[in-house]
Amino acid sequence: MSILFSSLQLKHIHLKNRLVVSPMCQYSAINGFANNWHLVHLGQFATGGAAAVIQEATAVSPEGRISASDLGIWKDEHIEKLKEITTFIKENDAVPGIQLAHAGRKASAGKPWVDHHQIAPDEENGWQSLAPSAIAFNPERENAPIAMSLEEIQKTVFSFQQATKRAINAGYEIIEIHAAHGYLIHQFLSPLSNNRIDEYGGSFENRARFLYEIVQAIKKELTTQSLWVRISATDWADGGWDLEQSIKLAKELKKLDVEVIDVSSGGAVYHQKIKVEKDYQLPFAAAIKKEVEIITATVGLIREADHAEEILKDGKSDIIMIARAFLKNPHLPFHFAEQLADNIKWPSQYERAK
Q: What angle do CA 180, 177, 120 make, to 5 degrees?
A: 60
Among the options 27, 172, 183, 200, which is catalytic?
Answer: 183
Are 299 and 22 within 8 A, CB to CB?
A: yes
Q: What angle do CA 62, 111, 42 make, to 5 degrees?
A: 75
Asked if 183 is an active-site residue, the reply is yes
Q: What share of the chain is helix, strand, coil (3-state, %, to 5)?
A: 35, 15, 45
Are 15 and 319 within 8 A, CB to CB?
A: yes
State how far the alpha carbon of 69 is from the alpha carbons of 26, 61, 184, in Å. Answer: 8, 13, 18
8-9 vs 14-15, strand pairing mode: antiparallel
Cross-strand pairs, 20: 52, 321
Calpha distance 209→203 (Å, rounded): 10
| Residues marked as catalytic | 183
